[in-house]
Structure 1
Amino acid sequence: MLVEEIMNTDVASLPPTATIASALKLLHEKKIRHITIINEEKNVIGIVSDRDVRDATPSIFEENREHTELQNEIQTIMSQPVVSVHPLDLVEEIAGIFYEEEFACLPVISSNKLVGVITEKDMLHTLIEITGTNVQSSHIEVKVPHKPGILPEVAAIFGARKTNITSVLVYPYKNDANYKILVFRIQTMNPLPVIKDLQSAGYELMWPNDNAGPER
């Protein structure tokens, strides 16, 4: 999946000379958490979060103080340089950037121009779709040898039952490189026939199993 498929193209941005007060207003009006700062050529030169603005906003308890801070330019509190991604980057690879750098938002740049943003919420929503947890389904985990052709071999058992597979994920098995865990989500509320077929074929089920209790 590509970044351009999940990015938000309705991007809230301000010039670096805009005031902190205008940023605060934009955050409230758009109900967003980040604002990209762009120059006249639409190049991204900074990014400001709601926390940055909140930290720069005077306390409501300071009644006798002139709140001139809100008239400061947004460039005085923006973060720079800005890490960005491209519309044709793979979402799976971008997830690593979010995790490792602990970012909450990344601008999407094409030809040095701002074309969108992608947030941690976008990433979480995509993960939900990829794993198939957003549709009613049954969850089955199968321990298999780590060898070529094992996935279609196991999937054929579902196909023999004409069971629709919603999603497939592959996980490592503990610290044993000789095995993998295949995680299937299938569109049936009665997975017992497929489970029995898998067991009859000699596969070990990690979920559901006798030690795991009733199926989730």
Structure 2
Amino acid sequence: MLVEEIMKKEVITLLPNNTIKEALELLNHHHIRHIPIVNEDHNVVGIISDRDIRDAAPSTLEEKQNQDILNHNINSIMTSPVITVHPLDFIEEIASVFYEHEIACVPVTKDQQLIGIVTEKDLLYTLIQLTGIHEQSSQIEIKVPNRAGILPNITKIIGERKTNISSVFIYPDQQDRSQKIIVLRIQTMNPMPLIDELKEQGYDVLWPNIPGLRQ
């Protein structure tokens, strides 16, 4: 899945010479947490977060203290330069950007112009959708040798039972790197016949781990 499929295209922006007060009002009015800062050519030159505003704004306990701070230009507290992504980037790639840089949103640019924004909430929601957990389904986890041809063999067994697959995830076994864990979500509420068949054909089904199920 690409960034352009999940990004918000309607983006609230400010210019560097807008004030902190204007930024605060936009954050509160639109219930958002980040505002990209752009120049007249709509190039991203900075970004501001609700945390930046809280850190800069006067304490609510001191109504008369440093109120002039709110009239300062936003470029005095914005983060710059800004990490951006391209609309044709894959979402798993930008997930690593979020993690490595410990950020909560990224502007999306094309030809240096702002065209969208992706937040950690957008990314998390998309990853949840990709797991298939929002559909009525059952999860099966199988430990298999890390070699070619295993996944097609398993999906063939599932297909022969006329069962649809909602999602497939594969990750290395943390204890044995020669093994992989295949996580399947299948569109049935009764996976027991399939689990039984997988075990009969020699597959190590880790989940569901039901006592008394034939080994």
TM-score of the aligned structures, taking structure 2 as reference length: 0.95
Cα drift, residue 11 of structure 1: 0.6
- For residue 7 of structure 1, give the secondary structure of its aligned residue in structure 2: coil
- For residue 162 of structure 2, give the secondary structure of its aligned residue in structure 1: coil
**Partner residue, 1:190:** 190
**Partner residue, 1:36:** 36
Cα drift, residue 66 of structure 1: 5.3
1:117-157 residue CA offsets vs partner (Å, 9 max, x unmatched): 11111110111011111212101001111111110101111
- For residue 123 of structure 1, give the secondary structure of its aligned residue in structure 2: helix
1:58-90 residue CA offsets vs partner (Å, 9 max, x unmatched): 112113435111111000000000010000111
Unaligned 5+ runs, structure 1: none
Superposed CA RMSD:
1.3
**Partner residue, 1:92:** 92
**Partner residue, 1:103:** 103
1:17-75 residue CA offsets vs partner (Å, 9 max, x unmatched): 00111000100111100000000000000000000011111112113435111111000
1:92-124 residue CA offsets vs partner (Å, 9 max, x unmatched): 111101011111010101001000011111110
Give the whole-Å Cα distance in 2 for the aligned partners of 1:47 and 1:98.
15
Give the whole-Å Cα distance in 2 for the aligned partners of 1:175 and 1:28.
48
**Partner residue, 2:166:** 166
Cα drift, residue 177 of structure 1: 2.2
Unaligned 5+ runs, structure 2: none
Rate the CA distance shift 1:45–1:171 in 2: closer, same or farther, 3 A: same
Q: Conserved in 1, the CA contact under 8 Å of 2:58 and 2:66?
A: no
For the pair 1:126 / 2:116, whether they are aligned, the reply is: no
TM-score of the aligned structures, taking structure 1 as reference length: 0.95
For the pair 1:176 / 2:186, whether they are aligned, the reply is: no
- For residue 22 of structure 2, give the secondary structure of its aligned residue in structure 1: helix
- For residue 125 of structure 2, give the secondary structure of its aligned residue in structure 1: helix
The sequence identity of aligned pairs, in percent, is 54
**Partner residue, 1:4:** 4
